[in-house]
Amino acid sequence: MRMKSRRTYNGKIRLAVFDWAGTTVDFGCQAPVAAFIAGFKAKGLDISPQTARGPMGMEKRDHIKAITAVPEVARAWRKIHGRPVTDSDIDEMYGEFVPHLLATLESNSGLIPGVARAAEALTEKAISIGSTTGYFKEAADIVAASAAKAGFTPMVSVSSSDVTHGRPYPWMIFKVMEACNICPPEAVVNIGDTEVDMMAGRNGGVWTVGVAATGNELGLTQAELEALDHDTRHLKITAVHEKLYAAGAHWVIDTMDELPAVIDEINNHLAEGHKP
């Protein structure tokens, strides 16, 4: 009988893959929400911010399709247009979504507090920095240029335009790993603010960290978050923690300032032979 071998990686984290909107830029993930609402409004449908946020993190055509599958949206579409939504409708809406998003990005691409410090701390630990996004390439380039001015420049940036399928498939993460020449998956941590970010990380077999206070699931601007009383803020952020853990996160942090300490924890787990 052939003896089965078990590969164990006892090294440290070598690559951190960051999401863009809601994780590193655009506190509360505001830009795409406004664009989705405007796009559906042009078709006669009023969708709520919560409905617009539901599939956040997905490739944007897939995101639009997911919104149209929401029962109340599907019913409203049929009532207004007299038929179900078609692929041609989704293609048309995606084409109209692009200029809506581009128009909002410039004013919604500010670097989230703590990101530059966290990236610097990881770089000091000899960890490479990459990024992925559900944005198409033109939008991703705008966001990356804005982040660079504020001091955050990943070595590699991959958009949904660069792969056959976006999240929850892990292909963008793998593309960053390939570009940085880093493996195995155990040496990689994926950081994001949405459920599909967590799913993509788990599907890729990498360590997965959710960010609660600055992202899409909470959906508040920095000013709105700071205006909350302590108890309300705690309850809302705790609910996001639970949601991201349920989606597959290994850790959930409030803000990026906590990330370096989590990386140290992961390294301790790796030294003990643990896997994601």
The string of pLDDT tens digits covering residues 160-181 is: 999 999 999 999 999 999 999 9
| Helix, strand, coil shares, percent, the chain, to 5 | 55, 10, 35
For residue 89, what is the domain's CATH number?
1.10.150.240
Calculate mean pLDDT across residues 97-123. Answer: 94
- Of the candidates 19, 162, 193, 254, the residue annotated as catalytic is 19
Q: What is the reported pTM? A: 0.93
Is 43 catalytic? The answer is no
Question: Which one, of 124, 168, 143, 112, lies nearest residue 157 by Cα?
Answer: 143
Whether the predicted pLDDT of 124 surpasses 70: yes
Asked if the model's pLDDT at residue 11 lies above 70, the reply is yes
- Asked whether residue 229 is assigned to any structural domain, the reply reads yes
Do 93 and 115 fall within a single domain?
no
Taking the C-alpha atoms of residue 188 and residue 116, their distance in angstroms, rounded to an integer, is: 19
Average pLDDT, the chain: 96
Catalytic residue, chosen from 26, 60, 62, 243, is 60
Question: Of 195 and 104, which is predicted with more confidence?
Answer: 195
Q: How far is CA 120 from the centre of its chain?
A: 20
Looking at the structure, tell me whether residues 35 and 166 fall in a common domain. Answer: no
236 is annotated as an active-site residue: no
Is 124 in the same domain as 261?
yes
Domain membership of residue 89 as a residue range: 31-107
Q: What is the spatial distance between Cα 234 and Cα 226, in angstroms, rounded to a whole number?
A: 12
Total number of domains in the chain: 2
Do 51 and 136 lie in one domain? The reply is no
Q: Which residues pair with 159 in a beta bridge?
A: 133
Q: Does residue 234 lie within any of the structural domains? A: yes
The answer to whether residue 10 is domain-embedded is no
| Residue 4 clears pLDDT 80, i.e. is over it | no
Of the pLDDT bands very low, low, confident and very high (cuts 50, 70, 90), residue 2 is: low
Condensed to tens digits (0 to 9), the pLDDT of residues 202-226 reads 999 999 999 999 999 999 999 999 9
Tell me whether residue 3 is in a domain.
no
Residues 225 and 196 in one domain: yes
Rounded CA separation 46/35 (Å): 12
Whether 43 and 125 map to the same domain: the answer is no
Whether 2 maps to a domain, the answer reads: no
CATH number at residue 264: 3.40.50.1000
